């Protein structure tokens, strides 16, 4: 009368919806591995040179007039928009990896910047921003007596 295999099956059948939910959640979490999030655009490098931070950002194909650079304290903001591409009749994307639309990235700098002396250049798809450090914020040499 009592069948242990049937009892085990019922116990696992109650867990099946939970396992399917877990599988769906894992698929969702790992489906975007290796893809950049919108917060990572544009890709940047920051180096320090002669008491200034030099930020380079990759912005290929963007009109420099559509890029906005601002500095507030230790935060550099790069914002802008990319143009929507138009297609001729019968054309469509086979693969699309370049983002379209508006973007905005805030970058925490390691020191406060003299916002009056900031310079920006755009050449061949690379935006280069030179951010001089505030003179009062420069390291000081202390003479030992």
pLDDT digits (tens, 9 = 90+) for 18-55: 878 888 888 777 776 655 555 678 889 999 988 889 99
The pLDDT tens digits of the residues spanning 91-141 come to 877 777 777 788 899 999 988 888 888 999 999 999 999 999 887 766 677
Distances from the Cα of 4 to the Cα of 8, 13, 17, 77, 90, angstroms: 6, 14, 22, 65, 63
CA distance 64 to 76: 17
CATH 2.60.40.790 fits 38-136, yes or no: yes
Cα 11 → chain centroid: 46
Domain boundaries of the chain, sorted by first residue: 38-136
Contact predicate 79/103, CB 8 Å: yes
Q: Return the number of other C-beta atoms located less than 10 Å from residue 54's C-beta.
A: 15
Residue 138 structure tokens: 């420069």
């Amino acid at each position: 009368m009592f069948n242990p295999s049937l009892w085990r099956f019922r116990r696992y059948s109650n867990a099946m919806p939970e396992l399917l939910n877990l599988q769906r959640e894992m698929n969702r979490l790992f489906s975007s591995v290796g893809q950049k999030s919108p917060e990572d655009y544009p890709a940047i490098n920051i180096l320090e040179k002669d008491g200034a931070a030099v930020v380079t950002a990759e912005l290929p194909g963007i009109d420099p007039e559509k890029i906005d650079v601002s500095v507030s304290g230790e935060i550099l903001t790069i914002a802008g928009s990319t143009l929507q591409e138009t297609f001729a009749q019968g054309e469509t994307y086979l693969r699309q990896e370049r983002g379209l639309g508006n973007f905005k990235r805030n970058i925490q700098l390691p020191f406060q910047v003299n916002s009056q002396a900031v310079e920006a250049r755009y050449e061949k798809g690379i935006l280069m921003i030179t951010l001089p450090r505030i003179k009062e914020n420069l390291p000081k040499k202390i003479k030992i007596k």
